[in-house]
Amino acid sequence: MFALKHLIAFPALFLVLYGTLPVAVSAMYGGSPPPHIASLLDKQMDTFSTVAKMIFGPITPRNSAAANDKVASKEPP
């Protein structure tokens, strides 16, 4: 159970930190940060999207639409 907390906590912390930090920094500058900070925020968001796909990609919900379609196709008409 201890490991499960860490498996959930790491992606959640990553999502909160890297997902909200660029928005907060941009808001501090009134929506238009200086060019050197804007380029760093762009790089951070690119890294965030790449890593988020690696972390959250393998996670599939049990009741997804694709799973429901597979079950529906196996039933006879």
Q: Domain ranges in the chain?
A: 2-74
Tens of pLDDT, residue by residue over 14-51, are 778 877 888 888 888 888 888 998 898 888 888 888 88
Tens of pLDDT, residue by residue over 41-60, are 888 888 888 887 887 777 76
Q: Which residue, chain included where needed, has tokens 């909160």? A: 16
Q: Contact, 22 vs 45, CB < 8 A?
A: yes
Helix (H, G, I), strand (E, B) or coil at 35: helix
Look at the pTM and tell me if it is higher than 0.75. no
